[in-house]
Structure 1
Amino acid sequence: MLLHIIARGKIGRSPEGELVARYLQRITWPTRLSEWPERGPGKAAEPLSPCRLVLLDERGTALSSEDFAALLARWRDAGVREARFMIGAADGHSDAERAGADLLLAFGPATWPHLLARAMLLEQLYRATTILAGHPYHRA
């Protein structure tokens, strides 16, 4: 299953960008990062079918790492070919976008900077894929 992160804005050369690059290299599942402009329509390849759409949203559901891994495993085992993770611009996602999502995912009730949200999402994807691969899992 392809893990596809679509984020508004360019991360460029920054400490956050280094974290993103590090986790992109560590994830063993097929992974793609697409960056869209801050405003206006973004352009991404047509989603692979079947596809699940996850929006990062502070009003969403906070999942433990184990529950997140289990969700990815269920989707993978059900034949989902792509999981799209959308990180919106500063004004977040529209009501229509939220209504069309398969999951609204939150990293707790706090609002996180979008550049950090990218790194946090990739870390959780890395952690989930290592849990599913049977690697030792540490809560620290």
Structure 2
Amino acid sequence: MRVSIVAIGKNRQGVFKDLYQFYATRIQWEIQLIEVDVRKTLDWKKQRLNETRKLLSSVPKESVMVILDESGKLLTSRALSNWINNQVDNGAKDISFLIGGAHGLDLSVIRSRSLTISLGRVTWPHLMIRGMIAEQLYRAQQILKNHPYHRD
């Protein structure tokens, strides 16, 4: 299985990139980070729409999409692991996690999303989310192997 993290902005260096790398190198699934740059506009709604469209065009074909949004469903790590396992059992070969920019994603243009999740009701820096998702993917993999990394 291949996992894609499709995100707005470039994370050139620093602790957020280090956090992502720390977990991404431990994940046994094929993982790729697709960083998307979009020219800034003064109108934040137009910016959000442009970013969402650019993200969607960068998602690998046939990929099951997971949208990260503050209004999304709150899942436990075990529930996310079970969801991933069900997708694989149903033939999914690629799962993409979409991370918007500072203004989030325009959910009105995302038609075929299969799951919208939230990492909590607080706001996180969008560059940090890459590392947080990588950690949850590593954790999901360990749960599926019955490894003691995760404790309920």
What's the TM-score, normalizing by structure 1?
0.90
Q: State how far apart, in whole Å, the 1-side matches of 2:118 and 2:2 are.
A: 21
- Which segment is superposed worse, 22-31 or 92-101? 92-101
Secondary structure of the residue aligned to 1:75 is: helix
Alpha carbons of structure 1 residues 27 and 2: separation in structure 2 relative to 1, 3 Å: same
Mind listing any 5+ residue stretches in structure 2 that lack a counterpart? 40-49
Runs of 4+ in structure 1 off by over 2 angstroms are 38-46, 95-100, 137-140
Q: State how far apart, in whole Å, the 1-side matches of 2:80 and 2:93 are.
A: 17
Alpha carbons of structure 1 residues 119 and 97: separation in structure 2 relative to 1, 3 Å: farther
Alpha carbons of structure 1 residues 96 and 69: separation in structure 2 relative to 1, 3 Å: same
Q: Deviations over 1:87-117 (max 9, x none)?
A: 0011111132444311111011111100111
- Which segment is superposed worse, 98-107 or 21-30? 98-107
Shift of the alpha carbon at 1:85?
0.4
Q: State how far apart, in whole Å, the 2-side matches of 1:76 and 1:45 are.
A: 18
**Which of 119, 129, 134 is 1:107 aligned to?**
119
Query: For this pair of structures, how many residues does the alignment match?
Result: 138
| Corresponding residue for residue 133 of structure 1 | 145
User: Is the Cα contact below 8 Å between 1:38 and 1:89 reproduced in 2?
Assistant: no
Which residues of 2 match residues 1-80 of structure 1 at below 5 A?
Answer: 1-39=1-39, 40=50, 41-42=54-55, 44=58, 46-47=60-61, 49=62, 51-80=63-92
Choose 1 or 2 for highest CA Rg: 2
Higher helix share: 2
Q: State how far apart, in whole Å, the 1-side matches of 2:11 and 2:149 are.
A: 29
% same residue: 36
Secondary structure of the residue aligned to 2:104 is: coil
- Opposite residue 108 of structure 2, the aligned amino acid is A
Mind listing any 5+ residue stretches in structure 1 that lack a counterpart? none
- Opposite residue 16 of structure 1, the aligned amino acid is F
| Corresponding residue for residue 44 of structure 2 | none
